[in-house]
Amino acid sequence: MDACDYIKSHIRTVPDWPELGVQFRDITPLLQNPKVFRVLIDQFVHRYFDVGPDIIAGLDARGFIMGSVLAYELNIGFVPIRKKGKLPFTTVEETYELEYGSATVELHTDAVKGGDRVILIDDLIATGGTMMAGKRLLERLGATVIEGAAIVDLPELHGSERLRAAGLQLFTLVSFAGH
């Protein structure tokens, strides 16, 4: 079994959560098993080892888990992109549309410098709204997002398609039909 199939086999599907008809892709089993977690992180480390990013930016909240470990393994910095109201210092914010409303994410104004090369990471790409908002925040501060990364892509929700159309290169390990 290759690494991506191995990872996919450890993602739990929770039917009808958080609402009827949704097939929630739960990554917590990946994190609970040290061998699987190592295989997961190694996929990203091997991808970015020679790319030379300056910073890993993790999206709230599961992007913090992979992002901080990846930054540690690459010996570079990590910055969190948080939900509005969670960061204590001066921030920039970006509001984006969800399926049923909107949300806002924030980034400290000193999180990146002009010219920083950033990998933007989250657990999953659904509609792409959160990752696009993160990309806009980083670019507003002068950084270059060299790639967006996630464990899971849900292609039927067209988020990865939207992100690529907006010029963001993407790397995902597995995809699931349905949502």
Per-residue pLDDT of 36-50, as tens digits, reads: 999 999 999 999 999
- Global confidence as pTM: 0.95
Q: Is the pLDDT of residue 14 over 80?
A: yes
CA distance 165 to 167: 5
pLDDT of residue 135: 98
Please give the mean pLDDT across all residues of the chain.
Answer: 96
| pLDDT tens digits, one per residue of 119-162 | 999 999 999 999 999 999 999 999 999 999 999 999 999 999 99
Q: What is the mean pLDDT of residues 71-77?
A: 98
Looking at the predicted structure, is the pLDDT value of residue 8 above 80? yes
pLDDT the model gives residue 179: 60
For 108-118, write each residue's pLDDT tens digit: 999 999 999 99
